[in-house]
Structure 1
Amino acid sequence: MVIPIFFLAHWYSSVLMQTFFLHRYAAHQMFTMSKGWEKFFYTLTFITQGSSFLSPRAYGIMHRLHHAHADTEHDPHSPDFSKNLFDMMWKTRTYYNDIVNNRDQIPAKFKKNVPNWAFMEWLGDRWLVRLGWVAVYTLIYVVFSPSPWWFLLLPVHFLMGPVHGAIINWYAHRYGYTNFVVNDTAKNLLPFDFLMMGESYHNNHHKWGGRVNFGGFRWHELDPAYPLIRLLNKAGVIRVRWGRDEAYM
């Protein structure tokens, strides 16, 4: 039972930090927090994403571009301008690396107030650090895997962050249902988002880009991250900016 528990723990902790810290905070600034808590969640993102750590700064900038230019040639990850899923992921990687390495020509308005802890940005992007996480995951499987078949899950551990991104950026622009008419192909991938902590309600999010609750428009649309956000807001860890609906700023 150790391996499935470890896999699920890694999956859900990683996607939680992606939706909570990278997406709702870094990109959309749906809530504010102190610099101390920001560093805490930076560190938690580094731990949960491990070998596939995504820079909150680069993620925030790139996601703002996605909302501003969804399903156009300027979208960093549009299925409509990609040959297949892997072509889209490679284009996303190129955009991401250009931002991380300050090679981009992105207008300053997309970079406004994105979090940027230089040390953690540097540490999380070191190849030796990423390989260290790979070694840890592999060792856990070597010690606890009851069958070699379980090792097939290791690539998902290694690329957890990009896998989560690909599920939404590709499949939630291809499949699902819509609640709202929007100027792109964003869809709600799952009626009940048991997989992506609310990220699957992509059509809802593209209609109301600053709304902290991604679900809630139909009885079955439960956003698992939303109760946690309310709890953190009540505890004073964050301060939700209620009533925002703008796309990305």
Structure 2
Amino acid sequence: MIIIGFFLLHWYLSVLMQTFFLHRYAAHQMFTMSPFWEKFFYVLTFISQGSSFLSPRAYGIMHRLHHAYADTDKDPHSPEYSDNLVDMMWKTKSFYNDILKNKDHIDPKFKKGVPNWKFMEWLGDRWVVRIAWGVAYTLFYIHFATAWWLFLLLPFHYFMGPVHGAIINWYAHRYGYVNFKIDDTARNLLPFDFLMMGESYHNNHHKYGGRANFGGFRWHEFDPTYPLIRLLNAVGIIHLKHHNDLNYM
């Protein structure tokens, strides 16, 4: 039970930081926060994603491009321009690394306002740090695992961030239902998003790219991240923009 609990904690904390901090804050700027809280959530993202830490700066820029050029040849991760899931994720990795290493030629408008704590960006991308996280996960499993099959969960810990990205960027453009007719293939992957903290409502999000609540268009659509956003806004940690029902671009 300890291993299952640890896996669920890592899964949901990692996806929460991806949807809350990297996606809704870094990419879409649905709310603002002070420099202190920005650094706090940088650190929390580093801890929660561990070996698969994603740069908020690079993620934010890349995701803005995804919305601007969804399902075209300029989209950083479109299933329409990839032979399979592995091919799409490899292309995404290459695109991400170019941004991370400042080798891109992206229009500056896509880079405006993205968070950039250079030390944490540097630390999270060091291979020695990523390997150290992986070793820590492995040692935890060696100590607490009670059955051999539990070790099959370890690869998910190593690649948690990319796994979450693959679920949405591939499967939510292939499967699910549609609330809105849009110019790309984004779909709502799950009718009740128990898995991805609201990210599964991809069709809703592509229709209203700046709306902080990804769900709410049907009775069964509940976005678990949105109440947290409202709570953090109420206590003054973040400041939710009142115009967040508008598209980003």
TM category (shorter chain) comes to: over 0.9
**Separation (CA, whole Å) in 2 of partners of 1:25 and 1:40:** 13
Task: State the Cα distance separating 1:57 from its structure 2 match.
Answer: 0.1
Question: Alpha-carbon deviations, 1:107-164, whole Å to 9, x = none?
Answer: 0000000000000000000000000000000001000001111111111000000000
Determine whether 1:85 maps to 2:85: yes
1:93-120 CA-partner distances (Å, limit 9, x unpaired): 0000000000000000000000000000
Alpha-carbon distance in structure 1 between the residues aligned to 2:166 and 2:139: 27
Matched residue type, 1:53: F
Residue matched to 1:11: 11
Distance 2:33 2:149 in 1: 43
**Which residue does the alignment assign to 1:216?**
216
Identity within the alignment, % = 74
* 8 Å Cα contact 1:67/1:247 also seen in 2: no
Query: Could you say which residue in structure 1 is the equivalent of 2:138?
Result: 138
Q: CA deviation at 1:229?
A: 0.3
Give the letter aligned to residue 239 of structure 2: R
1:39 aligns with 2:39: yes
Query: What's the offset of the Cα at 1:22?
Result: 0.1
Provide Cα deviations, 1:55-101, integer angstroms capped at 9, x if missing partner: 00000000000000000000000000000000000000000000000
Cα distance in 2, alignment partners of residues 9 and 185 from structure 1: 31
The separation in 2 between residues aligned to 1:241 and 1:204, in whole angstroms, is 19
Determine if the alignment matches structure 1 residue 111 to structure 2 residue 111: yes
The aligned residue for residue 152 of structure 2 is: 152
Per-residue CA distance 1:205-236 (angstroms, 9 max, x = gap):
00000000000000000000000000000000
What is the TM-score normalised by the length of structure 2? 0.99
The one-letter amino acid paired with 2:39 is K
**Using the alignment, how far apart are the partners of 2:248 and 2:87 within structure 1?**
25
Q: Secondary structure at the match of 1:239?
A: strand
Q: What secondary structure is seen at the aligned counterpart in 2 of 1:213?
A: coil
Alpha-carbon deviations, 1:153-186, whole Å to 9, x = none?
A: 1110000000000000000000000000110000
**8 Å Cα contact 1:68-1:247 kept in structure 2:** no
Aligned to 1:162: 162
Please name the residue that 1:96 is paired with. 96
In the alignment, what sits opposite 2:120?
120
Shift in Å, 1:9: 0.2
User: How far has the Cα of 1:246 moved from its partner?
Assistant: 3.8
* SS of residue paired to 1:77: coil
Are the equivalent residues in 2 in contact too, given 1:55–1:121 (CA < 8 A)?
yes
Q: CA deviation at 1:240?
A: 0.3
Partners of 2:148 and 2:213 lie apart in 1 by 41
Name the count of aligned residue pairs: 249
Task: Report the Cα offset of residue 247 of structure 1.
Answer: 3.2
Contact residue 189 and residue 201 of structure 2 kept, 8 A: yes
In the alignment, what sits opposite 1:234? Answer: 234
Unaligned runs of 5+ in 1: none
Which stretches in structure 2 are left out of the alignment for 5+ residues? none
CA contact (8 A) 1:211 1:245 kept: yes
**1:17-36, aligned counterparts within 5 Å?**
17-36=17-36
- Structure-2 separation of matches of 1:107 and 1:219: 40
- Partners of 2:103 and 2:138 in 1: CA distance: 34
* 239-248 or 114-123, which deviates more: 239-248
Q: Secondary structure at the match of 2:176?
A: coil
Q: Which runs of 4+ in 1 moved over 6 A?
A: none
2:61 maps to 61
